[in-house]
């Protein structure tokens, strides 16, 4: 009896864990235009962005392994064709942002470009990620792994990535992962040219508080400095709540110019401030 209950409990715990690793409880979210050729096509929590151009579209981030169906439905709902996606990019190779990339790559036939320092982790489906620092072996457990996509090209810090007239700059803001990439690019709104920054994860891995691998501190210091040097009229993040997807989208529905609802340079600075404080608290400095 007790054994059965225990086994049952463990089984449902395992199921819950499996479900979390498959789709993380993601739900469909309304896709929408942020500005110009930049669209939101992510789930309710994990974000994905589409940059469209006649020469081919760029898709950034793929949610959990179970999230692509939501992303594909969003792209279709906006009237775009997944077959026109020529390039897939990523912020960082964690289960919740890179989990769906293999599937999206298969469906679209697009190339995937990854930063030098994250490429190996990506190709290993998350194994070897240092987010648990000294407990690196944990990243080899199936529940933290994702279907490994094919990495077609690697890039390094400050390199630009182009599809036709769309150009993005790769800002390697390492720390959360060794090659964590914040993407900066420009969009037009009438006469205005707006700077967009999609910030990579800024949460310190567990290892930081445990004093592991000292170069990570240098990485974080550099990353905060770099992000502060970037101009951001519009900022985006790997998790939807962090950039205020819902309130901004709601405001955009009522705004005279919907783009205005997404302009938030103060939010960008505040986001960096908060994460830098969290980082300094973690290292006790």
Stretch that binds Zn ion, among 39-47, 93-101, 211-219, 258-266 (CB under 5 A): 93-101
Q: Tell the burial category of 17 from Cβ atoms under 10 Å away from its Cβ (0-12, 13-18, 19+).
A: exposed
CB neighbour burial string for 73-96, b if at least 16 within 10 angstroms, e if fewer: ebbeeeebebebbbbbbbbbbbbb
Q: What is the nearest approach in angstroms of Zn ion to the Cβ of residue 24?
A: 12
Distance CA 17, CA 189 (A): 43
What DSSP element (H or E) covers 22?
A: helix 2-23
Q: What share of the chain is helix, strand, coil (3-state, %, to 5)?
A: 45, 20, 35
Distance CA 279, CA 183 (A): 21
Q: What is the nearest approach in angstroms of Zn ion to the Cβ of residue 278?
A: 14
Token representation of residue 3: 């054994």
Picking from 83, 154, 148, 158, the residue whose alpha carbon sits closest to that of residue 113 is: 154
Q: What is the nearest approach in angstroms of Zn ion to the Cβ of residue 5?
A: 35
Residues touching Zn ion, count (CB under 5 A):
2
- Residue 201 contacts Zn ion per CB under 5 A: yes
Where do runs of H (alpha helix) occur along 178-264? 206-209, 215-229, 240-243, 245-254
The site map against Zn ion for 216-255 (x = CB under 5 A) is ----------------------------------------
Token representation of residue 7: 């086994």
Residue 52 vs 181, nearer CB to Zn ion: 181
Question: Is there a contact between 113 and 105 (Cβ–Cβ < 8 Å)?
Answer: no
Residue 46 vs 252, nearer CB to Zn ion: 46
Q: What is the nearest approach in angstroms of Zn ion to the Cβ of residue 237?
A: 11
Q: What is the nearest approach in angstroms of Zn ion to the Cβ of residue 142?
A: 18
Stretch that binds Zn ion, among 12-20, 78-86, 196-204, 245-253 (CB under 5 A): 196-204
Stretch that binds Zn ion, among 55-63, 92-100, 135-143, 276-284 (CB under 5 A): 92-100
SS3 call for 145: coil
The site map against Zn ion for 35-74 (x = CB under 5 A) is ----------------------------------------
Q: What is the nearest approach in angstroms of Zn ion to the Cβ of residue 92?
A: 5
Stretch that binds Zn ion, among 65-73, 199-207, 227-235, 262-270 (CB under 5 A): 199-207
The site map against Zn ion for 153-192 (x = CB under 5 A) is ----------------------------------------
Residue 130 vs 245, nearer CB to Zn ion: 130
What is the DSSP code (8-state) at residue 173?
Answer: -
Binding site for Zn ion (CB under 5 A): 94, 201
């Amino acid at each position: 009896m007790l054994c059965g209950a225990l086994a049952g409990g463990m089984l449902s715990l395992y199921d819950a864990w499996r479900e979390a690793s498959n789709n993380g409880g993601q739900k469909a979210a309304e896709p929408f235009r942020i500005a110009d050729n930049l669209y939101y096509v992510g789930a309710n929590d994990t974000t994905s962005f589409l940059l469209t151009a006649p020469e081919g579209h760029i898709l950034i981030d793929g949610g959990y392994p179970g999230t692509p169906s939501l992303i594909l439905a969003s792209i279709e709902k906006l009237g775009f064709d997944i077959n026109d996606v020529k390039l897939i990019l990523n912020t960082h190779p964690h289960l919740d942002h890179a989990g769906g990339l293999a599937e999206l790559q298969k469906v679209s036939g697009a190339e995937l470009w990854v930063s030098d320092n994250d490429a190996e982790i990506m190709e290993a489906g998350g194994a070897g990620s240092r987010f648990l620092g000294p407990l690196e072996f944990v990243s080899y457990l199936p529940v933290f792994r994702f279907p490994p996509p094919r990495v077609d090209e690697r890039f390094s810090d400050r390199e630009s990535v182009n599809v036709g007239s769309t150009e993005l700059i790769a800002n390697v803001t390492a720390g959360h992962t060794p090659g964590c990439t914040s993407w900066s690019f420009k969009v037009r709104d009438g006469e205005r040219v707006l700077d967009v920054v999609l910030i990579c994860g800024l949460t310190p891995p567990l290892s930081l508080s445990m004093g592991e691998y000292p170069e990570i501190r240098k990485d974080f210091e550099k990353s905060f400095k770099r992000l502060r040097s970037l101009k951001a009229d519009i900022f985006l993040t790997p998790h939807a709540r962090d950039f205020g997807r819902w309130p901004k989208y709601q405001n955009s529905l009522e705004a005279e110019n919907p783009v205005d609802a997404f302009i938030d340079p103060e939010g960008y600075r505040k986001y960096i401030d908060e994460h830098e404080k969290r980082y300094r608290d973690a290292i006790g400095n």
